[in-house]
């Protein structure tokens, strides 16, 4: 599917180049011929554009159905419950702990409102990349929705280990990055809870992590006011 999108876009780009060439040769062809050529090229371009958009839309729907977030390429909610259940079952079997980290981008609505949604998308991709590179291959990272991310840290020996991972993620995300010649840095509020210390099922653990995240956000806001 991705190959079809790429091919359709290549055809569209080629047609646009042909239109530009035809227009540049206006002194060498009669007006009627130029109009006819332009009409044919524009029609072909519109058809190719439609095919590219249809292919991209289909690819997006296919990605969602397989549990992949199209923007960040992280697992999404489709995979969340299955992998959460797997992590808990594995912890029960081996007598280990699982840390649940619930992360939210601070001030994300303001970023979207002032800099635009495309800039906001780049912030989300930056955040996803930093989180994914801050954990191990055996851990799970999800885009839970909007600017929210959930991280499952497996085989946690003690609560302080989860806190250390949380600090590592926050530090990585806070590194300044550049989008369209504009440099920005963002921060995360992260709430942490531990299975089985703080809950024994997904619903209870998520509620606990969500509450901890909002408490972290409240404390962060207070620090900014001081």
pLDDT in tens, 200-224: 999 999 999 999 999 999 987 877 7
177 Cβ neighbours under 8 A, 6+ residues apart? 126, 183, 184, 185
Provide the annotated active-site residues.
147
Half-sphere exposure of 109 (CA within 13 A, CB side): 0
CA 164 to chain centre: 23
What is the Cα Rg of the chain in Å? Answer: 24
H or E, element range at 105: strand 97-105
In the 8-state DSSP scheme, what is residue 201?
S
In the 8-state DSSP scheme, what is residue 10?
H
pLDDT at site 26? 47
How high does pLDDT run on average in the chain? Answer: 82
pLDDT at site 209? 96
In the 8-state DSSP scheme, what is residue 197?
T
The residue ranges of the chain whose pLDDT is under 50 are 26-29, 55-56, 58-60, 62-64
Euclidean distance between CA atoms 191 and 188, whole angstroms? 10
**pTM, two decimal places:** 0.71
């Amino acid at each position: 599917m991705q190959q079809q999108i790429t091919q359709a876009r290549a055809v569209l780009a080629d047609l646009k180049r042909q239109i530009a060439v035809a227009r540049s040769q206006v002194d060498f062809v009669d007006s009627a011929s130029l109009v006819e050529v332009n009409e044919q090229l524009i029609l072909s371009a519109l058809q190719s554009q439609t095919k590219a958009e249809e292919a991209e839309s289909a690819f997006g729907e296919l990605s969602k159905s397989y549990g992949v977030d199209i923007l960040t390429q992280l697992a999404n909610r489709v995979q969340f419950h299955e992998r959460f259940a797997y992590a808990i079952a594995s912890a029960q079997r081996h007598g280990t702990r699982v840390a649940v980290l619930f992360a939210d981008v601070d001030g994300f609505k303001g970023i979207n409102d002032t800099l635009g949604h495309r800039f906001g998308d780049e912030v989300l991709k930056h955040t996803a990349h930093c989180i994914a590179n801050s954990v191990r291959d055996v851990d799970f990272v999800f885009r839970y929705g909007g600017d929210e991310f959930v991280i499952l840290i497996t085989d946690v020996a003690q609560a302080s280990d989860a806190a250390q991972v949380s600090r590592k993620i926050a530090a990585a995300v806070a590194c300044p990055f550049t989008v369209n010649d504009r440099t920005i840095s963002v921060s995360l509020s992260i709430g942490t809870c531990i299975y089985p210390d703080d809950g024994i099922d997904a619903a209870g653990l998520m509620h606990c992590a969500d509450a901890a995240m909002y408490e972290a956000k409240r404390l962060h806001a207070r620090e900014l006011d001081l």
